[in-house]
Amino acid sequence: QASKQVQQALGRITGQASEFQKSLDASTARVFAFGATTAVLNGVTQSFKKLVSTTIEVEKRLIEINSIFQATDATFSRFRASIFRVAKETGQTFDTVAEGAAELARQGLSAEETAKRLKAALVMTRISGMDAEKSVKALTAAINGFTSASLTANQIVNKMVAVDTAFAVSTDDLAAAFTRAGSTAEDAGVSFDELLGLITAVEQRTARGGAVIGNAFKS
């Protein structure tokens, strides 16, 4: 009889322990679920805050650019769409695109003309590693230096990239040389393609860099 009572007591204790374990497991699961939910909510909150912050910064940059253009709402709306498209097509961040757009705007170009040149400048940035401002200045120097050639921004970049690909001369060096020697070369009757060939030949032979070569041709 005593043995039977002990067995019954042990059975009750085992059953209670099993129920307690189930309750403990359920509580633990709720704690983990709450923790996971909290982590997800925190992540969503942080992402939303970052999105708001980024949106505010983008709008600020756009307002700064239009303060230079003084474009109408319709014109700037088209420009706005174009620079986002350029960023997507060239794989550049909005900051980089905005930097290039602002530099072009400061040169007195219209919103329409800025949009046309911007993509070419950012392709140069991607290939050469130059920052957007430097690419814009180099491209502008090449265009202004050879006005009689009537070359478009795309044509200039394509020519430089072709040389970069085929010879041991970087787009960065070519841009640096053209920035310094472009206008002087045209005054001397040297064409864009001829100057491109001269810079390429001298750089391959001397490896002095575009800035040095450009200054040498300029003087």
Question: Which residue is listed with tokens 């490896």?
Answer: 207
Contact 132, 100 (CB under 8 A): yes
pLDDT at 143: 85
For the stretch 139-181, pLDDT in tens is 888 888 787 777 888 898 899 888 888 888 888 888 888 888 8
Q: Is the pLDDT of residue 51 over 50?
A: no
CB contact set of 138 (below 8 Å; sequence gap of 6+): 124, 130, 175, 176, 178, 179
Q: What is the pTM of this model?
A: 0.64
Domain chopping of the chain, boundaries: 1-63
H or E segment to which residue 208 belongs: none
Tokens, residue 74: 């319709």
Contact 130, 161 (CB under 8 A): no
H or E segment to which residue 92 belongs: none
The residue type of 108 is G
Query: Where is pLDDT greater, at 192 or 149?
Result: 192
pLDDT confidence band for 37 (50 / 70 / 90): low
- Taking the CB of residue 65, how many other CB atoms lie within 10 A of it? 22
What mean pLDDT is predicted for residues 40-65?
63
Runs of H (alpha helix) within the chain: 2-69, 73-90, 94-106, 111-128, 132-145, 153-166, 171-187, 192-206, 210-218
